[in-house]
């Protein structure tokens, strides 16, 4: 039996959801007999090829993140939104309370540790910031949601095992946590 191909990526986030994925510990080793990673920020492989399952952590806040999201979606049969940022915007969406130009000014000019004598916001190397941060389903079709900040590793395991059995997972209440 061929292994299920999986690709993961992170967008605007803290990477805690991928850490929860790694917190599967020995159960991850068991899963590796059935799944194969094609691309992942953990392996630093950034090109997406056709896969069975795409897993996205993080929200969308700029053009570059949207491009990455669209690439993984177009190459994934099933797309999973992993964590509150991907599902709802999460902590990065706190930026939505401020004007994007105010945010850029604060980050590149006003922070106490910034050394920017010309007081210029870089434009060439900084992806264009969107006016607000949004969950990924505002841009692409999502097939499975695994909320949590970060999600419980048991929820990730449950979802992957359901997918391996050919079922679209619906998380039972005991695996949903909003801590």
Going along the chain from its start, the domains and CATH numbers come out as 4-97+132-175 (3.40.50.700)
Q: Is 88 exposed, middle or buried (0-12, 13-18, 19+ CB in 10 A)?
A: middle
For 23-83, where are the alpha helices, taking DSSP H only?
26-31, 63-74
- Alpha-carbon gap, residue 92 to 88, rounded angstroms: 10
Q: Quote the longest CA-to-CA distance of the chain.
A: 60
- Alpha-carbon gap, residue 148 to 84, rounded angstroms: 5
pLDDT in tens, 62-79: 999 999 999 999 999 999
> Could you tell me the pTM of the whole model?
0.92
pLDDT in tens, 101-147: 999 999 999 999 888 888 888 888 889 999 999 999 999 999 999 99
């Amino acid at each position: 039996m061929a292994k299920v191909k999986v690709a993961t990526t992170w967008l605007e986030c803290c990477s805690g959801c991928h850490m929860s994925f790694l917190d599967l510990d020995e159960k991850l080793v068991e899963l590796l007999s059935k799944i194969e990673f094609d691309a992942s920020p953990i392996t630093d492989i950034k090109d997406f090829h056709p896969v069975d399952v795409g897993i996205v952590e993080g929200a969308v806040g700029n053009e570059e993140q949207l491009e990455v999201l669209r690439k993984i979606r177009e190459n994934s049969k099933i797309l999973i939104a992993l964590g509150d940022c991907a599902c709802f915007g999460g902590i990065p969406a706190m930026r939505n309370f401020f004007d994007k130009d105010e945010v850029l000014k604060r980050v590149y000019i006003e922070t106490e540790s910034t050394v920017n004598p010309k007081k210029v916001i870089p434009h060439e190397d900084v992806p264009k910031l969107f006016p607000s941060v949004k969950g990924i389903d505002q841009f692409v079709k999502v097939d499975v949601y695994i909320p949590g900040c970060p999600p419980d590793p048991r929820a990730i395991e449950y979802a992957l095992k359901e997918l391996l059995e050919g079922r679209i997972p619906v998380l039972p209440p005991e695996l949903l946590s909003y801590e």
